[in-house]
Structures are given as structure tokens and as C-alpha cells.
Amino acid sequence: MVNKEKILPFIEAKREMLFNISDTIWGYAETRFEEFKSSDLLCKVLADEGFTLTKGIAGMETAFIASYGSGKPVIGFLGEFDALYGLSQEAGIAEKKPLEGGGKGHGCGHHALGVGALAAALAVKEYIEKNKIKGTVKYFGCPGEEIGCGKVYMAREGCFDDLDAAITWHPFNSNGIMNSNSLATCAVLFKFHGISSHAAASPHLGRSALDAVELMNIGVNFLREHAEQEVRLHYAIIDTGGRNPNVVQAEASVMHEMRAPKLSQITDLYERIVDIAKGAALMTGTRFDVVFEMAASNLLNNNVLQSLLYEKFVEAGSVPVDEKDIEFARKIRETLNEKQKKFDDGLAVTMFKAGSDVISQISNKEIVDIIYPYDPVETQAMASTDVGDVSWIVPTAQIMTACYAKDTAGHSWQMVAQGKSNLCHKGLLQAGKVMALAGAELLENTQLVEKAKEEHDRRRGGETYKCPIPPDVKPLASR
């Protein structure tokens, strides 16, 4: 077993540097495939630490791979750094206060995610160097996870093919192993084209693209009744065509996203939704174009790697919490209603199979400060991630650490407000420690690597990876 004293002190010594990088990326708040500053900062740090870099991969200027070492096994850490639209928020306060109206913000913690993975990669590189062992560590700079699925384009280009194991994490409200299956997903933009006309003098000469969008949305909403229980359908009207009601809108666009447990279900949903769009176009005398936005596969778990990560999590300990953390968390939770304050209790039961003894330990706390017991029984998470595509190529596992107050909702202003907090800093540091311990163990114990691969082969059941994004679709920058 790897001695943690060969790993943890190194990461502790880097803590201030890591916190500064995370806070800087939080401030950049760059969205899909335009994370130029964030990507450059991470690349500079990795180059300074002795990694060899390959930039601009898979048609994405902000995607990169940093590598150190030689030979097998090859251990990869997945890093993200993209933000979300419309979530600009001042840090360190418990009230909604945008820094910029309609601006961007890190409402999913990817600023910390990329840096936690960076901490692990740097520590494993140091372990290889100091112990003169064979093996390679890679850090993957993965842009556009939110409405972009950068890892899918990387997977399509074979970027993960030489890995023996992939490890990552996600900032969250609790400490534990992510052993849920994610939903496969697909998002498509439907751009309707009509004919403009005066809405009072000559409405009969117009053909409303906005009418087509509204009729399409109604059709998709009726489809919900006839989809499987786990299916999720959602949409956003991207372009209403104008602001004047006395003009028949000639242009309008709507993005539809569909999620389901398996990629094959997504294919069926997509075909049905395209048919609904055709019907809307026929009813309104318009036409439409389909712009493929993104897609991602469902996740394949790996109990061998998850068990290893849990062992290392227990060894490293949960995220340390102090009174200042608790006080800020209390203020954040005061902004939630009573139903919202029970979110993590329910999640612990449904997602982590936590028993009443665990719930009693967390229900009255401002921060979840325990490590959820690892249960290999898998559940279905109602979310999606492009980590799923990596998991079809190589054994993959993920952890989460408590970076936010209990019950903080993802993609919320409250999450952005906590993005530079001491708790978030400590959470990313602890994630780096756990992942680094697991990465070093895999380098030393190649039998574990082989067991993880055997499980991976069983789970694929003879299927090979099929990229859910068509070969002619290229990454799209922010709208």
C-alpha cells in the first residue's frame, strides 16, 4: 500500500498556489470552448511542473493533454474549467448579487474541479519522479462540459485510448463515491424559418417561425406521457424572432435536450422529436434546420476503482470543517426554503443508499462532514456527464467532496457565491489527495489495474464505444 506521507505533504505544500488558481478561474468564468484564459493558466502551471503538453486537440483550442513519465500503466485525471450562462454572482455573500447582469458564473464548481485534478496529477508526477517507478500520469484539460461535451470530441479522436484508468471528481455538498449511473443526453437546436409580414395589415402573407416553435414545444410536452419513466425532456427558446408583436416573426429557434438511461433510447427520442418539428413546420408553413449541439453517453461504473477510491478517502479523511465554514454555510442555508433544506437527505437515500443512521448524522448539520459509506449497489442519477464517454473506453471512477453548504442546489447563485470559500478550497484539496493516493496505488499495484479492466470488459458486454456525436459535427463556441 502506498504510504500517504509520500503524497499528502506535497499537496499541502501546494495549497496556496492551488487556491489562487481556482479563484482565478472562478473570476474568468468562461463558457464552453472559449475558456482561453483558464486553459492557458492550467497549461502554464503544468509546463512549469515538467509536464509535456499537447494543445488544441480534437478541434478545440482550449482542450489539452499534459503528460509525464513513460510506459504502463497510464493513469489519467480529468479536469474541467467551464462556467455557466446567467449565473454571475459576487463571492462570499449570502444574497443574490450579480457581478454583471446576465453574466456568467461557476455554478457547477468546475473552477475547483480542474484544480483538484491538477493537484492529483502534480502529486502523482512527484511520486513517479521521487520513487523512480515506471508509469505515466496524464492530465486532460476538458473544455465545454456544460452544453458542449468536450470529452466526447476527445473520445472521438482517441485521446483516452491509451489510458489504463481514468479518475476524476466533482465539487458537491457531501463526501462520497459517485456510484450512480448517469443519463445519456443529446441537445439539438431547431431553427425555424418563416416569412415576415405586418401582423395587422397582411397577416395572411406571413408565416410565423415563432408559432412553429410554440407548436413544437406543445408536441414535445405531449410526448412526455409516452416516454420511459426515467426520461427527461427540457427546452429553452433561444431566439423568439423579435420584440414587436405587430410583426410576424420570420425567425425563431428552440433548443431541446433529451436524457435517458441508455444511448439507444436517445436515438429513438431524437427521431420522434424531429418528427414533431416536421409537424410544426407543416402546420405553420415554415421550414427548419437542425443544429446538433451536443451529446453524451451514459456512464459505466467500475467497482474496483470505486472501492480503491473509497479506501483512500477513508485514509485521507473527510473535508475538515471549522466554525467559520459552518457560519457561512448557515447563512447560505437561510436563503433556502424548508423543502430545499431536505434535498441532501433525500439524495443520500436515493443516490447513496444511506440508512437512517447516516441521515441522523447529517439532517441537522449545515455542512455534511462525514464520508458516505460506499455501497456498490448502483442507482440512477437524473443528470448527465461527458465522463460517461470516457467510461466506455477505459475503467473510470469519480468521487465528490463537500465544497458547499448542505442542500446547495447545483447551477444556483448560492453555489457561485461559495466558489471561493474556505470550504471549497479545502474540498478541492481533499479531492486531490484522495485521487493522488489512488493514482499512486494503481501505479504500484498493476493487478488492481487488470481487475478494473476485467470488470470494464464485463460491463461493456461485448459492445464497443460508439460516439454519440455525428462525425461531421464540430465543437460550437458560446452563442
Same domain, yes or no, for 175 and 286? no
Residue 16: the pLDDT is 98
Number of H helices, E strands in the chain: 15, 13
Band (350; pLDDT cuts 50, 70, 90): confident
Q: Is residue 474 part of a domain?
A: no
CA distances, 447 to each of 73, 138, 316, 442, 453 (Å) = 11, 20, 23, 8, 10
Tally Cβ neighbours within 10 Å of residue 110: 28
Task: Show the DSSP H helices in 226-262 as ranges.
Answer: none
Which of 296, 324, 357 marks a domain boundary? 296
Tally Cβ neighbours within 10 Å of residue 350: 14
Same domain, yes or no, for 249 and 124? no
CA contacts within 13 A on the Cβ side of 438:
35
Question: DSSP for 29-71?
Answer: ---TT--HHHHHHHHHHHHHTT-EEEESGGG-TT-EEEEEEES
Q: For the domain that residue 240 is a member of, what is the CATH number?
A: 3.30.70.360
Domain span at residue 203 reads 184-296
Same domain, yes or no, for 137 and 150? yes
Task: Show the DSSP H helices in 30-175 as ranges.
Answer: 36-48, 110-131, 150-156
CA distances, 423 to each of 10, 323, 400 (Å) = 20, 11, 13
Q: Is residue 305 part of a domain?
A: yes
Examine the pLDDT at 479 and tell me if it is beyond 50.
no
The residue with greater pLDDT, 476 or 243, is 243
Q: What confidence tens digit (pLDDT) does each residue in 435-454 have? A: 999 999 999 999 999 999 99
Q: For the domain that residue 426 is a member of, what is the CATH number?
A: 3.40.630.10
Backbone angles phi, psi at 33, to 5 degrees: 65, 10
Average pLDDT rounded to a whole number, residues 281-288: 98
Same domain, yes or no, for 196 and 136? no
- What's the CA gap between 231 and 350, in Å, rounded? 17
The residue with greater pLDDT, 479 or 326, is 326
Cell of 360: 441522523
Average pLDDT rounded to a whole number, residues 280-284: 98
Q: Is residue 76 part of a domain?
A: yes
344 contacts 358 by C-beta, under 8 angstroms: no
Same domain, yes or no, for 145 and 203? no
Pick from 112, 86, 102: nearest CA to 418: 112
Tell me whether strands 251-260 and 232-239 are parallel, antiparallel or unpaired. Answer: antiparallel
Same domain, yes or no, for 8 and 106? yes
Which of 241, 268, 296 marks a domain boundary? 296
Same domain, yes or no, for 318 and 236? no
151 contacts 386 by C-beta, under 8 angstroms: yes
Q: Is residue 73 part of a domain?
A: yes
Question: DSSP for 275-300?
Answer: HHHHHHHHHHT-EEEEEEEEEEPPP-
Same domain, yes or no, for 245 and 353? no
Which of 274, 296, 318 marks a domain boundary? 296
The share of the chain scoring above pLDDT 70, in percent, equals 99
Q: Is residue 376 part of a domain?
A: yes
Same domain, yes or no, for 14 and 156? yes
- What's the CA gap between 112 and 172, in Å, rounded? 11
Same domain, yes or no, for 203 and 351? no
Average pLDDT rounded to a whole number, residues 67-87: 97
The total number of structural domains that make up the chain:
2
Average pLDDT rounded to a whole number, residues 393-406: 98
Q: pTM, whole model, 2 decimals?
A: 0.94
Backbone angles phi, psi at 234, to 5 degrees: -145, 160
CA contacts within 13 A on the Cβ side of 230:
19
Angle between helices 446-460 and 303-316 (to 10 degrees): 140
Instruction: Map residue 255 onto helix, strand or coil.
Output: strand
Q: What confidence tens digit (pLDDT) does each residue in 13-46 have? A: 999 999 999 999 999 999 999 999 999 999 999 9
Q: Is residue 44 part of a domain?
A: yes
Q: Is residue 468 part of a domain?
A: no
Please, what is the Cα angle at 233 between 459 and 30, to 5 degrees? 85
Same domain, yes or no, for 341 and 394? yes
Q: Is residue 479 part of a domain?
A: no
Instruction: Map residue 195 onto helix, strand or coil.
Output: strand
Which letter does DSSP use for residue 151 in this model? H
Cell of 8: 499528502
For 67-89, b/e burial (b = at least 16 CB within 10 A) is bbbeeebbbbbbbbbbbbbebbb
Among 76-80, 208-212, 338-342, 387-391, name the one with the lowest average pLDDT: 338-342
The enclosing H or E element of 79 equals strand 74-80
Band (477; pLDDT cuts 50, 70, 90): low
> Which runs of E-coded beta strand occur in 81-201?
135-142, 165-172, 176-177, 180-181, 184-193
Same domain, yes or no, for 112 and 233? no
